């Protein structure tokens, strides 16, 4: 009896080791206490942020099929695809004849909706308890990136140029593009960046009229790149998406007066989504923005500058807005009571009149130069200017008209706050200027033409 018991016990131990099962106190295997078979490692996979309608890189989990003779069925939620060979991906896998193997299942996150997803992959086999793997991810909008200017040199002197103009191929269909952002990166050429804060902008050519439209304006830092802003100055240029399509001609300008200058790079993100309206069109209303000193003269006779227009809106416009960018320049007197000369420093409130009525106001006041992430700079970078700062993008002022004026016209006028230049500045900088651009943007869910501006 002792010999038989010894051989029985040895066989039982060998069975438990080979098939990785627990043995009960009465020396018999218990199916309900089987733990290792089908138990996945790890039990959770986190894919973080993945763009809609794309695939993540593959992650994986493993489990053992020891003692499993029936089919193993693995199912995944719709946003997560699974594969047993890291080649063919689906939402359901059936594994047959896989007893006593170590199995790897690959997983990819393929979101089709925005937002967080937190679900379970299930692992089942007949007469076995279900096992699960938690899978998490966040669906974010799909982004198409287009690099345009890349380290384009802007400088002044023999063989140098403040302006660079090139043609680029951009996104073809913008009807499902919700936003377009431009990113402007500045680097220093050999020898260092230019020492001054100067006017700079990016323009796009309207192929119908060959006019150049200012889509982004920024002010260079004093002698420093803008690497502290990871991708550079960010500007929402969605208003111009009808022009930022297909073959696009762009112009980069920096009003630099030294042979050092800047290296300018510009790239664009086109973000898929549901736009407010499928179709946009844009026309120039006012543009006195060739450089800082070719803006509208402030406080003197400005009769040479036309700030009054009549705008005819297409009949199918569902939304109409005005987009203005403005910066003041010059150290003209008299100073304001707090010692601020015009128009770089003097705080002012301008009015936008629609059909002779004061409809919108633009306050050119402090925007927090001291908190600019591009710091420290040279020069007097930290004191607040009137509506702009060295080493920052210039704010875009958007005015949404409550009436779309579809099929109608309206009168537009830009009015500066009253002030008179006494031309008594002690230096040569005796004039004040406002470099300004204003555009009218129309939107519709049906194809739309440009407004007419007279």
Tokens 């004849």 belong to residue: 97
DSSP state of 240: G
Tokens 């989504």 belong to residue: 273
Q: Based on the residue annotation, tell me whether 300 is a catalytic residue of this protein.
A: no
Between CA 60 and CA 24 the distance in angstroms is: 34
CB contact set of 211 (below 8 Å; sequence gap of 6+): 205, 284
Q: Based on the residue annotation, tell me whether 227 is a catalytic residue of this protein.
A: no
Asked whether 204 and 167 are in contact (CB, 8 A), the reply is no
Strand segments (E) across 192-261: 199-205, 212-219, 233-236, 247-254
Between CA 452 and CA 446 the distance in angstroms is: 18
Nearest CA-CA partner of 100 in 37, 12, 33, 41: 37
Q: Based on the residue annotation, tell me whether 306 is a catalytic residue of this protein.
A: no
Asked whether 255 and 198 are in contact (CB, 8 A), the reply is yes
Choosing from 206, 214, 239, 255, the catalytic residue is: 255
**SS3 per-residue string spanning 290-341:** CCHHHCEEECCCCCCCCCEEEEECCCCCCEEEEEEEEEEECEECCCCCCCCC
Q: Are strands 392-393 and 279-288 parallel, antiparallel or unpaired?
A: unpaired
Choosing from 197, 206, 214, 260, the catalytic residue is: 197
**SS3 per-residue string spanning 407-421:** CCEEEEEEECCCCCC
Between CA 62 and CA 41 the distance in angstroms is: 5
**Would you list the DSSP string of 29-93?**
B-GGG--SBT--BSSEEEEEEEETT--PPPEEEEEE-TT--S-EEEE--TTEEEESSSSS-BSEE
List C-alpha distances in Å: 410 to 286, 308, 317, 414, 438.
15, 11, 14, 13, 15
Between CA 380 and CA 196 the distance in angstroms is: 10
End-to-end CA distance of the chain: 113
User: What are the residue numbers of the active site?
Assistant: 197, 255, 344
């Amino acid at each position: 009896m002792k010999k038989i018991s010894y051989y029985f016990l040895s066989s039982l131990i060998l069975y438990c080791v080979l098939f990785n099962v627990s043995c009960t106190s009465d020396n018999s295997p218990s199916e309900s206490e089987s733990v290792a078979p089908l138990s996945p490692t790890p039990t959770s996979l986190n894919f973080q942020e993945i763009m809609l309608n794309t695939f993540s890189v593959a992650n994986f989990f493993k489990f053992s099929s020891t003692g499993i003779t029936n089919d193993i069925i693995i199912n995944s939620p719709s946003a997560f695809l699974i594969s047993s060979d890291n080649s063919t991906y689906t939402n359901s896998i059936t594994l047959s004849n896989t007893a006593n193997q170590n199995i790897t299942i690959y997983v990819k996150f393929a979101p089709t909706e925005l937002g967080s997803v937190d679900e379970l992959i299930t692992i089942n086999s007949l007469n076995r308890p279900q096992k699960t793997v938690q899978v998490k991810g966040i669906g974010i909008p799909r982004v198409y990136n287009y690099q345009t200017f890349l380290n384009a040199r802007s400088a002044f002197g023999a063989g140098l140029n403040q302006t660079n103009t090139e043609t680029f191929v951009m996104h073809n269909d913008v009807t499902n593009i919700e936003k377009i952002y431009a990113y402007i990166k500045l680097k220093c050429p050999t020898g260092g960046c230019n020492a001054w804060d100067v006017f700079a902008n990016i323009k796009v050519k309207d192929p119908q009229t060959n006019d150049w439209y200012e889509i982004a304006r920024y002010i260079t830092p004093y002698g420093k790149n803008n690497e502290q802003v990871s991708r550079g100055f960010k500007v929402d240029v969605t208003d111009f998406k009808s022009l930022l399509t297909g073959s696009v001609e762009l112009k980069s300008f920096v009003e630099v007066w030294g042979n050092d200058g800047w290296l300018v790079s510009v790239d664009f993100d086109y973000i898929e989504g549901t736009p407010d309206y499928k179709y946009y069109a844009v026309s120039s209303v006012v543009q006195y923005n060739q450089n800082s000193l070719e803006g509208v003269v402030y406080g003197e006779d400005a009769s040479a500058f036309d700030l009054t227009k009549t705008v005819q809106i297409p009949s199918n416009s569902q939304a109409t807005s005005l987009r203005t960018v403005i910066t003041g320049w010059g150290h003209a007197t008299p100073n304001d009571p707090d010692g601020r000369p015009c128009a770089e420093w003097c705080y002012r409130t301008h009015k936008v009149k629609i059909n002779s009525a004061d409809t919108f106001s633009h306050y050119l006041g402090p925007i927090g130069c001291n908190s600019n992430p591009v710091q420290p700079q040279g020069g007097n970078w930290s004191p607040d200017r009137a509506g702009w700062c060295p080493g920052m993008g210039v704010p875009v002022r958007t005015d949404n008209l409550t009436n779309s004026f579809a099929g109608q016209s309206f009168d537009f006028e830009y009015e500066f706050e009253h002030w008179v230049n006494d031309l008594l500045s002690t230096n040569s900088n005796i004039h004040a200027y406002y470099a300004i651009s204003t555009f009218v943007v129309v939107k519709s869910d049906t194809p739309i033409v440009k407004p007419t501006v007279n």
